[in-house]
Structures are given as structure tokens and as C-alpha cells.
Amino acid sequence: MDLSSYFVYLSVSIIASVSLGPSVVLAASNGMNFGRRKALAGVFGHVSAILILALVSASGVGALLLASEWVFNLVKYLGVAYLIYIGQAIIRSKGSWALQLSDGPKPSSAHLFRNSLLLGLSNPKALVFFTALFPQFINSTSPLLPQFLLLAGTSLSNAFIFTFGYALLAHRFKSRLLPIINHGWLGPITGSLFLVFALMLAMTNSSTGHIAF
């Protein structure tokens, strides 16, 4: 892979990492509600999900999954169901998703890691991304493993940097959101975003692999 090709992939990866999606919203919510250390556990869950999907794609299984409309739709609607579940849970659990101004109980790091991992795995966005792009940037005449490590490592690094960045920004500016939080709007707003993501995922076209976010 030449340097110019890598910079093209790097640019695409950055754009994908910066774009607003369910994992970004969850990371920002974790940062705002539970602090930087707790949010970091969720970010690691998100990055782990991306790594798993990258490995699935590189193994060729990803292409087979996307070639089957039935399997793609199964994965898609499982993702839709999980997004709806998360959204409704946030809306209903006002105490858990309001800003923790006291020393009340907070979810464990393992719980936040698991939620982010399952959320990442339930969304075929990364699978489509890797399955579509890897073949475009990998030189079949050169050793494949170093190229895969470079591409996957780039995506994982960007996912960590930008997702944790959103969590840090949410934590840093949470005081400005106190009026919203004190009026009980944070949970409904965040939960509604997940319902919107569920609708957008449901509109995904398996034939084009187009994801709406």
C-alpha cells in the first residue's frame, strides 16, 4: 500500500469516526452521567466491537453475511431491536440517566463495557465499512497481515480518540446542560435519539449496504 492510498483510507476512517451515531451518543451520555473513567470502559467496549467486526470482515465471513439478504436483515433488525431497547431504557430510567449530582449508585465499568460492546456488534455499519473498503486498499501482491493491521489499527485508533473525545467534551461541558438535566429532559432527548437511530437502521438497504448514519 502506498502512502497516498493510506491517507485516503485515513481520511475516510476519520470521517466515519467523527460522524454522529449510537455509540457516540452513548459515550457522550456515559461521560456526562458517570464521569471520564466510567466512560472509558464504554469506549473500550465500542473499540472491541469494531475490532471483532474488522476480524469478521477480514476473514471473508463479512462478505458472505452481506451477500445474504436474509442474514443481513436478521442482523439489521436485531440491531433495531437493541437500539429501541436502549432508547426506552434511557427514557424510563430517569434516575440512572440523570446527571449524578450525588453519590448514588452508578453502573459498573463492566456494565458500561458490555452495553457499548453489544451496541457496536448489533449495528452492521462497521461490518459494511470494512467489507467494502478493505479490498480497495489492500495490495494482494504484498503480505496481507501487515496491511490488515495497519488499516484496522488506524480505524481502532480513530474510534478510540474521537469517541472518548466526545465523552470528555460531554463531561467537560455538562454544567451548561444543568437546566436541561434539572428539568428531566436529558433522558428523553438521549433516548429519543436512539429511537431515531433505530428507524434509520431499519431503512438500511441490504443491496447497497447504505447506512443512514
Number of CB atoms found within 10 A of residue 5's CB? 13
Per the domain annotation, does 212 fall within a domain?
A: no
pLDDT band for position 156 (cuts 50, 70, 90): very high
Parent domain of 120: 3-202
DSSP letter, residue 107: -
pLDDT score of 210: 43
Mean pLDDT of 79-97: 67
Per the domain annotation, does 208 fall within a domain?
A: no
pLDDT band for position 207 (cuts 50, 70, 90): very low
Per the domain annotation, does 135 fall within a domain?
A: yes
Q: pLDDT, tens digit, for every residue of 54-70?
A: 888 877 765 666 566 77
The three-class DSSP label of residue 210 is strand
Cβ neighbors of 180 (< 8 A, separation 6 or more) are: 186, 189
- pTM as predicted: 0.70
Q: Which three cell numbers stand for residue 41?
A: 470502559
Per the domain annotation, does 211 fall within a domain?
A: no
Per the domain annotation, does 207 fall within a domain?
A: no
Q: pLDDT, tens digit, for every residue of 171-188?
A: 888 777 656 655 666 667
pLDDT band for position 46 (cuts 50, 70, 90): very high
Length of the chain: 213
Whole-angstrom Cα distance, residue 177 to residue 119? 25
Per the domain annotation, does 138 fall within a domain?
A: yes
Per the domain annotation, does 177 fall within a domain?
A: yes
Per the domain annotation, does 210 fall within a domain?
A: no
Evaluated on CA atoms 8, 12, 15, 18, the torsion sign reads negative
Domain count, the chain: 1
Q: Single out the residue of 197, 200, 194, 56 nearest to residue 128, CA to CA.
A: 56
Output the furthest CA–CA distance in the chain (Å, rounded).
Answer: 60
Q: Which three cell numbers stand for residue 99?
A: 446527571
